[in-house]
Amino acid sequence: MSEYFSKLFDTSDFPARWHCGNWSDFLGWLHILSDLATFSAYFAIPAVLFYFARKRNDFPFTSLVWLFGAFILACGTVHLVDAIIFWYPIYRIGGMMKFVMAIISWVTIITLIRYIPSIMHLPSMAATNDRLKLEIIQREQTEQRLKESEASALAASKAKSAFLANMSHEIRTPMAAMLGYADVLLDHLKDPDNRNCVLVIKQNGQHLLELINDILDLSRIEAGKLDVEIEPISLVQFVSNLHSQMCVRSQEKGLSFDVKFASEIPDRIRTDSTRLRQVLINLIGNAIKFTEKGRVQLAVYMSQTNELAFSVRDTGIGISQEQQKRLFKPFSQGDSSVTRTYGGSGLGLDISNRLTRMLGGSISIESKLGVGSTFTVTIPILSTDDSSLVKPPSFGKLDLAVNETHKIQHLACRILVVDDRRDIRHISQHFLEKAGAKVTTAENGRQGIDVAIAARDKCEPFDLVVMDIQMPIVDGMEAVAALRLEGIDWPIIALTADAMKGDRDKYLNGGCDDYLSKPIDQGKLVSIAVKYTRDISKKELNRLRTERAKKFQTTLRSETSEARQ
Ligand code: ADP
């Protein structure tokens, strides 16, 4: 061995390989260059590995990278020596390099066997090593904890939704009575001071109700229980109704509110008008609320991206850059002085943003503190049979629509009101009788069925039934089913304090023609009564019922086939 090392650089008794055999120049250089190319690649691989491993302080296998690099470098060096040997006789050094490479190769293989299971997260013989075992146990525990917390978060979210739904029902029912009686009282009072007191009660009740509705909406959206119902609507009609609704609020504050069609617009669009109205009412409502002087304007136009845009511009207090960043988060409001002055819950914009996204659109904002704000909602136009762009009507026509909506509506019909709560019965009766209807009341579903059948047998049919849903003895839906079985085909309106998704379909598919949620709004109750006793003919009502039944059958069929799959 010592002789080997002492003669390590003695080349006298070796010829260069070039001179052994019959190498052509080409083959000789091919040999040398191939060995040099292999060496350079084997040098580059560990260099790249070290470079990247050094950048990651948290990399857990640095020793393995060093070893692996050394192994590749050793392989490469053997090729370098081979290239030299071809030209110059240093065979002993070549032999020693191969020996070094063999040792490094085996050390690498042994180390790899130890590390690979932990790299691949597999328990194995290497896991006998205490540290690795501990790591594996900790990882499993973390995964378990994650699963548990995911399950408990889901359960908590479900419980929250159920709680909110129940609470909203419990709160809306007494609110229905309070707001209703405030209206009844207003009709009886003449003294301005007394009327003012009742108006304050009513306004505050309405604020409370808006808050409950917002919280309920948010929980519905979060629980995925809020669906959009896309249907064709007339854009001008939609905007004109919105204008008339919001004009009342702006006039109360002494502000002007106008609508401008800033380009040609589609005659009809397909969207969920209820949700779109909710978003725009919130934005226009905010604009009115946060503006003391000046004007609020709604501009409707086609955007450059060929979407339908609604811009609500105000000359109000404006919003700081800082606040704009967190504007669409729930419960986010301006600074505390703004909150103190204007009140509110900070939920409206979050809900509007989510609803707009559900409609496939987006909301953007431009605002300058002290100058004013512009909120722009853009939604895609889903094509209808008649979605071509038309010249918008002049503003005068919109004004006509305002007057139309505020026309006092008269009823000349017989209505049966079925509700177990005396206060609600009384309020509904008061509103309907005030509009001119003759009202009979019943205290529960059973009584309702009896009164209806007796009226039919005496040939004194009712023109409309207003049916509460949750009642003792026989509930509203059972009563409706019994009336339909009896062949009674009068229009029936479901009246309920429940407002979760699916409720509406449940009532309509169960035999009702429409649905009204509590607290009872005098205007809405009278309008719906007018609609079903005066505006809709029997033929039209039957057509609507057949259409609904067909739709219900199709849904049932597709649900059944989905369930089978
Ligand atoms: P709320 O109005 O009930 O507080 P929103 O989510 O609708 O809740 O609005 C959140 C906040 O955004 C408001 O409290 C207000 O500070 C600010 N904001 C919204 N719209 C406007 C506006 N048009 N002008 C000025 N500030 C606004």
Does residue 283 register a pLDDT over 80? yes
Give pLDDT, residue 400.
Answer: 42
- Contact status, residue 250 vs residue 296, Cβ threshold 8 Å: yes
Residue 176 scores a pLDDT above 60? yes
pLDDT value at position 406?
Answer: 46
Q: Which two tokens stand for residue 65?
A: 């990278």
Whether 302 shows a pLDDT value over 80: the answer reads: yes
The preferred substitution site among 209, 282, 286, 332 for testing ligand 1, maximizing ligand atoms within 8 Å of CB, is: 286
Contact 442, 422 (CB under 8 A): no
* Across 391-417, average pLDDT: 63
Q: State how far the Cα of 85 lies from the Cα of 79, in Å rounded to an integer.
A: 10
Residue whose structure tokens are 């007339």? 234
pLDDT of residue 155: 86
Residues 6+ apart with CB under 8 A from 16: 85, 86, 87, 88, 89
Confidence at 345, pLDDT banded by 50, 70, 90: low
Give the pLDDT mean for 415-436: 89
Mean of pLDDT values over 171-180: 81
pLDDT at 57 over 70: no
- Choice between 37 and 92, residue whose per-residue pLDDT is larger: 37
Confidence of residue 408 (pLDDT cuts 50, 70, 90): low
Cα–ligand 1 centroid distance for 202 (angstroms): 23
Q: Read off the pLDDT band of 486 (50, 70, 90).
A: confident
- Provide the pLDDT confidence category of residue 365 given band limits of 50, 70 and 90: very high
Type of residue found at 503: D
Which residue has the least CA distance to atom 11 on ligand 1?
333
What is the CA(362)–ligand 1 centre distance, in A?
17
Q: What distance in angstroms lies between residue 323's CA and the mean position of ligand 1's atoms?
A: 10
Asked if residues 417 and 440 have their Cβ atoms less than 8 Å apart, the reply is yes
Between CA 516 and CA 524 the distance in angstroms is: 8
Q: Which of 240, 245, 379, 253 is nearest to 311 (CA)?
A: 379
What pLDDT score does 222 carry?
73
Question: Does pLDDT of 503 surpass 80?
Answer: no
Closest CA to 259 of 412, 448, 402: 402
> Does 236 contact ligand 1 (Cβ within 6 A)?
no
Predicted confidence at residue 313, as pLDDT, reads 94
225: confidence class by pLDDT, cuts 50, 70, 90 = low
| Helices 422-434, 130-188: inter-axial angle, 10-degree rounding | 50
> What pLDDT band is residue 460 in, cutting at 50, 70 and 90?
confident
Q: Concatenate the DSSP letters of all residues of 138-181 into one string.
A: HHHHHHHHHHHHHHHHHHHHHHHHHHHHHHHHHHHHHHHHHHHH
Closest ligand 1 atom to Cα of 328: 6
Q: 417: which strand partners?
A: 441, 466
**Residue 191 φ/ψ, nearest 5 degrees:** -65, 125
Confidence category of residue 262, pLDDT binned at 50, 70, 90: confident
Side-chain-facing half-sphere of 473: CA atoms under 13 Å: 13
272 Cβ closer than 6 Å to some ligand 1 atom: no
pLDDT grade for 341, boundaries at 50, 70 and 90: low
| Helices 522-530, 422-434: crossing angle, 10 deg rounding | 60
pLDDT at 416 over 90: yes
Helix 445-457 and helix 476-485, axial crossing angle in degrees, nearest 10: 20
DSSP per position, 207-218? HHHHHHHHHHHH
157 band by pLDDT with thresholds 50, 70 and 90: confident
Among 196-205, 373-382, 456-465, the range scoring the smallest mean pLDDT is 196-205
pLDDT at 377 over 90: yes
Nearest protein Cα to ligand 1, atom 7? 348
Q: Which residues pair with 372 in a beta bridge?
A: 368
Write out 232-279 in H/E/C secondary structure: EEEHHHHHHHHHHHHHHHHHHCCCEEEEEECCCEECEEEECHHHHHHH
71-97: pLDDT as tens digits:
888 889 888 988 888 888 877 777 788
Most confident range (mean pLDDT) of 310-314, 327-331, 340-344 is: 310-314
Residue with CA closest to ligand 1 atom 21: 286
Average pLDDT, the chain: 81
The pTM of this model reads: 0.55
CA-based Rg of the chain, rounded to a whole angstrom? Answer: 40
